[in-house]
Structures are given as C-alpha cells and as structure tokens.
Structure 1
Amino acid sequence: MFTRTLSKRLSAAVAAGTGALVLLTACGGGGDSMTGHEKPTSSAATAPATAQPGASFNDADVMFAQMMIPHHQQAVEMADLAATRAADPEVKELATKIKAAQDPEIETLRGWLKEWGKPAGDMQGMDHGMPGMMSAEDMKKLEDAKGAAFDEQFARLMIAHHEGAIQMAKTEQAQGTNPEAKELAKTIETAQQGEIDQMRKIIDRL
C-alpha cells in the first residue's frame, strides 16, 4: 500500500515537473517571439529619421540652387535682349527657347530652397565668382549692340555663360544628394551643351 502511494506521488511530481518544463519552454519561446517583434518596432522608430524632409539635401544641393537662380536670371535677361536686337531668326528662336526653359527652372529652384528653409540666391549678392557670369560691362555692350553684331556677341557670351552653368551642374551631380536637384543638374548639362553646339554653328555661318 505504501509502495503504491509513493509511486503515485513520484508520478505526480514527474508530471508536475514536466508541466513546469513545458510552461518554461513556452515562456522562453514567447520571449524569442517578442524579440522578433521588437525588430520591426525598432526599424519603425528609426524610419522617420531617414524620411525627414531635412535629410533629403546637403550643402552642395543648397549651393547649387542658390547659385543657379541668379545664373539663370542673367541668361533670361540676355535672352530678352534678343527679341528687339537680334537679326538672325535662329538666334531669336534660341533666345526664346532659353527663356522658356530657364524661367520655370528658376521657380523650381526657389521652391526647393523654400522647402529646405534656405534663402534664395540674389543676383546682386552672388554674381561674383560664379562661372560664366557676365560682368556689367559685358551686359552693357550686349545691350548696345544690334543686328549681326548682337547675334555674334550674344552667341559668344551665351556659350561662356552655358559653360559656367555646366560646370556648376557637374559639381551638383558629383557632390549633391537630393535626387531631384541632381536630375535637374543633369538636364541642364545636356540641354545647354546642345545649345552650345548650336551657337558654335551659328557663329561659323555669321
């Protein structure tokens, strides 16, 4: 009788121990599962840091936008002169094309700077040292020229101006981080190189 009672107690203890082991294992598994859930939570917590608007640009992007605005503004001023001074139809057409392309780009660049919380470029304060910018004397000479003399002078000055813009665009593509700014820089480089090639041909036939 005593042996049977002892045997039953031992069996009950083993069963209890087994149950405790199962419960402990289950809790351990739950801990691993919770650790697995912690990873997405951690990723979600760090995601906004990479998605913040301020993280999508760097100093090179800002400089590109600030410098390209006055650079474009001067090209538009030069293009405006062609309407009443140019004699060559291709020069007039090219000037219209330049103005039509660069006016919207100026607004795009201003929009980015506003979004980034940075001041826009200013022609009076930023024209010195920018590649390809015309001096006040160059602009006065262009303004005073008419007919064939204007056509040749416009083409030569705009070639130098475009070459400066291409230099700035290449710097942006190499050093910038904002995808849209780098894409615009690539567009500027391609479009203005094509216009340089066209103006060289115009000069050759004038």
Structure 2
Amino acid sequence: MAELDVQPKRSSPWWLWLLIAIIAVVILIFLFRGCNSKTTTVSTAYSTSTTKAVAVTKPDWDAVDFNGARTKDEDVTDTSIAVSGNDRYTIYTLGENILFATDQNTLNSDAGDKLKQIVSSLNKRFKGANIGVYGSTDSTGTAGHNKALGAERAAAVKNWLVTTGGLDSTLVSIHSLGENKPVASNATAAGRQENRNVSIVAFPNK
C-alpha cells in the first residue's frame, strides 16, 4: 500500500490573533464615540443644552446709571415713584420717606400701595425679567453703616416683591450702594434726602 504523507495542520501565529483583537477594539471605540456625539450635552459658561449652546445675557448690575432721564409709565400714576432708564433697563425709584422711617429698615404701612403699582408695571412690561433692588443712603454716618442699611432696605423691598408681589425670588437680586453713586449733593438737606432711596431696576431678557 502507498503511504500517505499527512502533515499536521499549522495553527495561525498568536500575534495575528492579537492584532485582529486590537483592530476590533479600535473599531468598537470609534463606533461608540460616533453614537455618543449625536446626543452629547454641551455645557458652556452661558448655559447647558443638547447639541447647541445658547448664550444667556446677564445684567451688568454695576453699569446702571441712576441719573438717567425720566420716562413715562402708564401703569405708574403715583408721582412719588420716579421712572427712568433707557433701552437696556428701566428704573423705579422711591424715596426713603416713602418706604421707611429715618434710619430704619422696616417698610412703612403704606409702602405696599406704591410697590403694587411697580409690580403691575413689571408684570406687564418685564415678565420674567431680571430685577435688581438697590438700597442707597446719604453720606451721614460711617460708610460701613450706610452699606449695611442699604442692603437691609433692599432686602425688605425684595421680600415684599416676592411674598406679596408674587415675583420669582430667583430673578430678584439685592444690591447695596450705600452712600456711593449719589443722585444729588450730600451738602444740603434736600440732596441728602434725595440720596436716601430704593431703586428697582428691571433688565428685560434679550
């Protein structure tokens, strides 16, 4: 009988299998990244959104000019409320004597009637806008005391705007100017009285 020359089957080199495994892993990684990129949430300094970042303009609270020209507001008929501003913001200003007793931070009993008119205007013209409440004093007393008093008065007005006026507390911020940025001269009694006030500034959303 003829003898059959049977050779053992050669196995593939080990490094070939390793190479195939590495290539497979790389392909899977690229596929996984490709799927994720379609639904990636983009987070920026401005806002967070899916596939698109939307910039949100924040008010420049330090750039408000309290000596701006007076304007008219049909919803504010009380002459003790001064309305001013420009195309970027509107300011509603009430004197200390309207809202508070001298050197006090508790609202007068009739302050609510004035604030209701301002809230009515805010709800009509600036729904959802950022609102800044600024407390100002004259230069009598120490700068520290004036800064604290301005903050306390601004806080009292904010509390009323939120609890009674129904404004969103997350949109209302407190700012104390103290004796800084006076609207009149502190050299006269009339000027000092004018400088003691609270201003409500509305920044419409852009």
Q: Is TM > 0.5 for Structure 1 vs Structure 2?
A: no
Q: Hey, which of these two has a bigger chunk of helix by percent?
A: 1
Tell me the TM-score normalised to structure 2 length.
0.30
Question: Using CA pairs below 8 Å that are at least 6 residues apart, which structure has the higher relative contact order?
Answer: 1
Tell me the TM-score normalised to structure 1 length.
0.30
